[in-house]
Amino acid sequence: MISPDLKIYFSGDSGYGAHYKEAGATFDGFDLAILDSGQYNEAWRYPFHQNLVVLVLDAGHIENHGLQSISMEDKCRIIIYYPVLVYRDSKGGNILDNTHFKDISILYIAKYAPKHLGASLPTGIDDEIYAKYHYAIHEILCNNFCNVDSSSDIAVLNSTPNVDFIFSLFNRLPFRNSEVFVSAVAEYYNIPYLGGRPNIRALAEDKHLAKMMALYAEVPTPRWKTYNIQEKVTPPDFSGPYFVKPRFGASSEYIDEESICLSWQNAYERIMYLQNNQQDVILEELVDGVYYTSPIINNFGQAVFLPCIKEWSNLIYGVVTYEQKRKIKDGLVRTISQDQTLQKQIHHYSSRIYSMITPIDYTRIDYMVSQKNGIPYFIEFNMCCNLGEHSSISQSAYHLGVNYEKLIMNIILSSMYRANLIQDTFGYDF
């Protein structure tokens, strides 16, 4: 079929032979070839594509013996999801790959990752909200991608996963510095993954180094001192009150009202408690103020600084605990910041920090805004932060009119775009 703009070759019911090459030579190549796809699968990879300008699978003969090892449901799935156009130049190189993101295979791993859609939520657990969060992410993945493997067992990474992309919500595992484990393993296997590189993730998990970076970026941060396990514990060169917490990790574990120490004696006792629990410690100058968080998404390489979230806790000095963040306990209220002047200042500081931690897919930078002088003091930045429906980043995006599924898809596809798995935004950019 020949038009002024396009030459199309339709094979009909056929098989590979010299006639393909002869037809191409006779008509000086084709823009589109539509071929019978019933006889080919991974086990029979013939070099027929090398002589074609365009390869397209059509829907013919799905009942043929070549696919008898595949269920009828999977045959139909092949036909639905594999109308793939690959335009090639004369040397066989891709000019335009229009493969849809649905074809990208994903390994989803999380503490409560369900084995399949419709699986029942676990019972008898404290953090049911997190289980619902992990199930919701799984549902979004299955609704938008054809091939999603799901596992709650980190041992799935003991051998090379046969996937194109890894989506992990495993932030903490029962060994030291586990936050960088998945990204490091993915780098070893050379498989793209959600989040950021292990070295940047390690920086986020070390509050001491993160504060050094903030100082370099000329972003205000409270004075601090570290006390690693077995080091001599001596007073800092600044007076209290103090805030004492683990140096590593971003889960808010061990953070509660006991973290607030009004005297050095209180701080010393808290430091010894944490060290006895095998925690390296960071002691900060306590900022009496209000907690603000600045969510940022990569958005296909065009970073979006989402509206800041103001967090109110009913505990003294507004301390936000591990249980509050996971909604195991009440007392934490999040609202969109209405102070545009303050938000502009926070975004200015966040842009300085963000420029030093890219490439990443999403992050949240936390500040305490002093009630005394109104200055936002950098506390930490959190990579791979909570993406649940009630999280800060989701609440902030919703304020802009972005629903939960579009936010998650924006983050996933932006990550795939950064990894060169796709070259299109598919309308998910902000």
Q: Is there a single domain that holds both residue 168 and residue 252? A: no
Establish if 170 belongs to a structural domain: yes
> Residue 90's domain spans which residues?
8-99
| pLDDT value of position 309 | 96
Q: Which amino acid is residue 4, in one-letter code?
A: P
Q: Do 381 and 192 meet the contact criterion of CB atoms below 8 Å apart?
A: no
Q: How many CB atoms lie within 10 A of CB 224?
A: 18
Q: Is there a single domain that holds both residue 39 and residue 91? A: yes
Q: Is there a single domain that holds both residue 49 and residue 91? A: yes
pLDDT band at 5 (very low <50, low <70, confident <90, very high): low
CATH label of the domain that carries residue 175: 3.40.50.20
What is the total count of domains within the chain? 3
- pLDDT over 80 at 83, yes or no: no
Q: Is there a single domain that holds both residue 23 and residue 38? A: yes
* 33 vs 85, higher pLDDT: 33
Establish if 416 belongs to a structural domain: no
**Percent above pLDDT 70 for the chain:** 80
Choosing from 286, 306, 340, the residue where a domain stops is 286
Closest CA to 259 of 287, 237, 283: 283
**Percent above pLDDT 90 for the chain:** 63
Q: How far apart are CA 415 and CA 409, in angstroms?
A: 10
Q: How far apart are CA 40 and CA 42, in angstroms?
A: 7
Alpha helices in 165-219 (DSSP H): 181-189, 198-205, 207-216
Establish if 218 belongs to a structural domain: no
Establish if 429 belongs to a structural domain: no
Establish if 136 belongs to a structural domain: yes
- pLDDT over 90 at 270, yes or no: yes
Which of 172-181, 239-248, 289-298, 350-359 has the lowest average pLDDT?
A: 172-181
- Average pLDDT, integer, range 68-86: 43
Spell out the long-range contacts of 34-37 with Cβ–Cβ below 8 A and sequence spacing 24 or more: 34/8, 34/9, 34/10, 34/58, 35/11, 36/11, 36/12, 36/60, 36/61, 37/61, 37/78
* 186 vs 326, higher pLDDT: 186
Choosing from 67, 82, 99, the residue where a domain stops is 99
Q: Is there a single domain that holds both residue 123 and residue 166? A: yes
Q: Is there a single domain that holds both residue 255 and residue 235? A: yes
Q: Is there a single domain that holds both residue 23 and residue 72? A: yes
Q: How far apart are CA 199 and CA 203, in angstroms?
A: 6
Q: Do 149 and 163 meet the contact criterion of CB atoms below 8 Å apart?
A: yes
Q: Is there a single domain that holds both residue 142 and residue 169? A: yes
| pLDDT value of position 320 | 77
Per-residue model confidence as pLDDT tens digits over 47-58: 444 344 444 444
| pLDDT value of position 95 | 32
Establish if 255 belongs to a structural domain: yes
Establish if 227 belongs to a structural domain: yes
Q: How far apart are CA 318 and CA 291, in angstroms?
A: 7
pTM of structure: 0.76
Q: Is there a single domain that holds both residue 83 and residue 146? A: no
Choosing from 99, 128, 154, the residue where a domain stops is 99
Q: Is there a single domain that holds both residue 94 and residue 115? A: no
Q: Do 174 and 150 meet the contact criterion of CB atoms below 8 Å apart?
A: no
Establish if 350 belongs to a structural domain: no
Q: Which residues is 2 bridged to in the sheet? A: 7
Q: Is there a single domain that holds both residue 156 and residue 121? A: yes
Q: Is there a single domain that holds both residue 90 and residue 111? A: no
